[in-house]
Amino acid sequence: MNIAIIGAGATGLTAGYELSKKGHHVTVYEAEDDVGGLASTFTAGTQLLEKLYHHIFTNDTYVTDLLQELGLISKLQWVSPKSGLYINQKLYDFSTPKDLLMFKEIPFFERIALGMLVLKSRFIKDWKSLEKITAKDWLIKNAGPNAYEKFWGPLMNSKFDLDAEQIPAVWLWNKFKLRGSTRGSNTGKEMFGYLEGSFGELYKALKTEIEKRNGKVLLSSPVERITLNKDKTIQITAPNGSASFQKVLFTLATGLLKQIMPELPASYIEKINKIKYKANICMVMGIQSSLSPYYWITIAEKESPFVLMIEHTNLMPAEPYKSGIIYLSRYLDADSSLYQYPDSKIENLFLDYLEKMFPSFNRTDILWTKIFRSDFAQPVVCPDYSNVIPEHETPVPNLYIANMSQIYPEDRGQNYSIALGRKIAELLNE
C-alpha cells in the first residue's frame, strides 16, 4: 500500500519504520525542518541537544528494544544523578525514599502515608476506579492535606494550570507507579538513561531506515489539506504538491485534524474538541559554571514562573556542549498571557526567579539562551478520560489517528509513543 503519515515524531517515524519493513510505500510529512517532534534538536557546541529536556527510565523497554534493533544501544548511558526539591526558598535532596522520610515540610506521619501510597500504587491494577476521583481528593484522603498543599498541589498547578484540581487520580497513580519502579534495588536512586549525541540520533536513524526502503520523509512540508476521494483513497495537499494514498495516519495533536479536514462529521469534531492540551515554554541556556549538584529540581512554589530546572550537564559531560546546560520549563495554556510574552520578557522573568533560588548566580555567566515553545506539549486528562479518547479509526474511511492523547493511562513520553507507533502500524497493515 501507499501510506502517508503526518508528523515525524516518535509515533509517526516508528509507525513508518514498521510499515516500511512490511513492504509498504511510506511517505512522512513533517512541517518542521527536523525529525523528532518534541525531541527535535539544535546544536550546542559540537553536540546536538534536545530543545525540550529528554531522558528515559529503566522500564522504558520499547525505547531500548528499538535502540537495540537499530544498532544504537551502545550509545545509551545510564546514570543515577541527584534530584532536588525547591520549596519555601530551600533546596532539599529528593533522590531516594529516605529523602522523603527526612522531608520536614510535611508532618512525619503524612510522609509515611505518602511513601506508603507510592509503594501501594505499584500494585493497583484497577486504574479505572481512579478516574472517578480527583488527584487532589485521592492524595488528601490517603496521605493528608500537607502532601497536596505543600508539594503536589503547586506541581499540578504548574503542570495543568486552571485544570489542576480536575485532574483524576489515575494520572498521579501512574506517576507513582512509573517512578517507583525505576529505582536501583541497592541505592533506591532513580536511573536515568540518555543517548550519546541526543535522542535525535534515534529519530534520524528511523528516517534513514524508512528511506532505505524507498520511503520518503518530507521535511518543511506541512499538510494543508486532507480530502477523501470518491474511490476511498485520501488526497494529501502540501506545499510541494498533492498525492493520493490508500491509507493516512495522522499523528499530530487531535484538534489540528479539523483544521486541515473541515469535512469531518460534526459529531466527530465535537468528540475531538474534548481533548485539551497544555502548552510548554522551555528556556535552554549555556552557562559557564554549575548552579547546583542536581540534575532534576522540582519547583514547588506557586509564584515560580517555571516548574522544573534541569541541569543536563549533571547527567552528561559538559565538554561536547562547550558549556553547562540548564533547562527551565513551564506548562500553561497556550492562550495565557505568559505564553504570549516575547522571548526577552520570558527570559528576564525566568532569570529573576533563578536569582532568588541561587543568590550567587551571576547573569554574566550565561553564554547563550534559547526559548522554545510547544503549543501541544501535554494532554489534559479529564474525569472518565477513557470514554473521551477517540478511536484510532476515524469516521473517514482509511484515515487513522495516533498521538499522545491516546497513550492513556500511561503519560506521554518517548517510550509509549514508540509503543503506540508499533501498535498503529499493525492496525494499518491489516
Cell of 427: 492496525
Across the range 309-315, mean pLDDT stands at 97
Size (the chain), residues: 430
Report the pLDDT value the prediction gives residue 156, as an integer from 0 to 100: 84
List b or e across 324-334, with b for residues whose CB sees 16 or more CB atoms inside 10 angstroms: bbbbbbbbbbe
Dist CA 300 CA 86 (whole Å): 6
Does residue 332 belong to any structural domain of this protein? no
pLDDT greater than 70 at residue 197: yes
Across the range 384-410, mean pLDDT stands at 94
CATH number of the domain encompassing residue 270: 3.50.50.60
In DSSP notation, 385-428 reads GGGTSPPSB-SSTTEEE--GGGSTTSPSSHHHHHHHHHHHHHHH
Q: Provide the edge-to-edge strand list for the sheet that holds 192-195.
A: 56-57, 192-195, 76-79
Q: β-pairing, 324-332 with 366-380?
A: unpaired
Cell of 361: 548566580
Confidence of residue 188 (pLDDT cuts 50, 70, 90): low
**What are the helix (H) ranges across 148-196?**
153-160, 169-180
CA max distance for the chain: 68
Say how far residue 280 (Cα) sits from the centre of its chain. 10
**Domain stop point among 117, 147, 180:** 180
CA 420 to each of CA 48, 73, 404: distance values in angstroms, whole numbers, following the listed order = 26, 21, 8
Does residue 349 belong to any structural domain of this protein? no
Cell of 419: 509503543
In DSSP notation, 193-232 reads EEETT-THHHHHHHHHHHHHTT-EEETT----EEEE-TTS
**Domain stop point among 145, 180, 215:** 180
Across the range 327-353, mean pLDDT stands at 96
**Dihedral sign of CA atoms 93, 98, 102, 106 in order:** positive
Report the pLDDT value the prediction gives residue 157, as an integer from 0 to 100: 80
Name the least confident of 49-53, 90-94, 314-318, 400-404. Answer: 90-94
Dist CA 44 CA 48 (whole Å): 6
Does residue 91 belong to any structural domain of this protein? no
Query: Are residues 425 and 398 both part of a single domain?
Result: yes
Across the range 198-212, mean pLDDT stands at 98
Does residue 254 belong to any structural domain of this protein? yes
pLDDT greater than 70 at residue 182: no
Angle between helices 61-69 and 200-212 (to 10 degrees): 50
Does residue 226 belong to any structural domain of this protein? yes
Report the pLDDT value the prediction gives residue 181, as an integer from 0 to 100: 55
Report the pLDDT value the prediction gives residue 96, as an integer from 0 to 100: 84
pLDDT greater than 90 at residue 205: yes
Q: Provide the edge-to-edge strand list for the sheet that holds 324-332.
A: 90-93, 82-87, 294-299, 308-311, 324-332, 276-287, 366-380
Question: Are the C-beta atoms of residues 368 and 322 closer than 8 Å to each other?
Answer: no
Query: Are residues 264 and 403 both part of a single domain?
Result: yes
**pLDDT tens track for 164-181:** 899 999 999 988 887 655
Tell me the whole-structure pTM to 2 decimals. Answer: 0.93
Does residue 167 belong to any structural domain of this protein? yes
Across the range 295-304, mean pLDDT stands at 90
Residue, of 67 and 382, whose pLDDT is higher: 67
Report the pLDDT value the prediction gives residue 184, as an integer from 0 to 100: 53
Percent with pLDDT over 90 in the chain: 78
Confidence of residue 94 (pLDDT cuts 50, 70, 90): confident
pLDDT greater than 70 at residue 355: yes
Across the range 212-241, mean pLDDT stands at 96
Report the pLDDT value the prediction gives residue 97, as an integer from 0 to 100: 80
pLDDT greater than 70 at residue 332: yes
Query: Are residues 112 and 173 both part of a single domain?
Result: yes
Dist CA 64 CA 191 (whole Å): 14
Question: Are the C-beta atoms of residues 310 and 330 closer than 8 Å to each other?
Answer: no
Query: Are residues 392 and 266 both part of a single domain?
Result: yes
Query: Are residues 103 and 162 both part of a single domain?
Result: yes
Residue of 29, 38, 420 whose CA lies nearest to 203: 38
Does residue 280 belong to any structural domain of this protein? no
Cell of 233: 483513497
**For the chain, what is the domain count?**
2
**pLDDT tens track for 1-48:** 999 999 999 999 999 999 999 999 999 999 999 999 999 999 999 999
Confidence of residue 115 (pLDDT cuts 50, 70, 90): confident
Confidence of residue 183 (pLDDT cuts 50, 70, 90): low
Query: Are residues 175 and 105 both part of a single domain?
Result: yes
Q: β-pairing, 216-218 with 25-29?
A: parallel
DSSP code, position 314 = G
Does residue 120 belong to any structural domain of this protein? yes
Dist CA 221 CA 217 (whole Å): 9
Across the range 232-243, mean pLDDT stands at 96
Cell of 235: 488526497
Dist CA 109 CA 199 (whole Å): 41
Report the pLDDT value the prediction gives residue 53, as an integer from 0 to 100: 96
Report the pLDDT value the prediction gives residue 417, as an integer from 0 to 100: 97
Report the pLDDT value the prediction gives residue 187, as an integer from 0 to 100: 59
pLDDT greater than 80 at residue 352: yes
**Domain stop point among 180, 211, 226:** 180
Domain around 150: 97-180
Across the range 421-428, mean pLDDT stands at 98
Query: Are residues 108 and 175 both part of a single domain?
Result: yes
Q: Which long-range contacts (CB under 8 A, 24 or more apart) does 354-363 make?
A: 354/291, 354/309, 354/328, 356/89, 357/86, 357/89, 357/91, 357/309, 358/291, 358/292, 361/291
Residue, of 241 and 153, whose pLDDT is higher: 241
**pLDDT tens track for 50-84:** 999 999 999 999 999 999 999 999 999 999 999 99
Residue of 40, 50, 38, 10 whose CA lies nearest to 280: 38
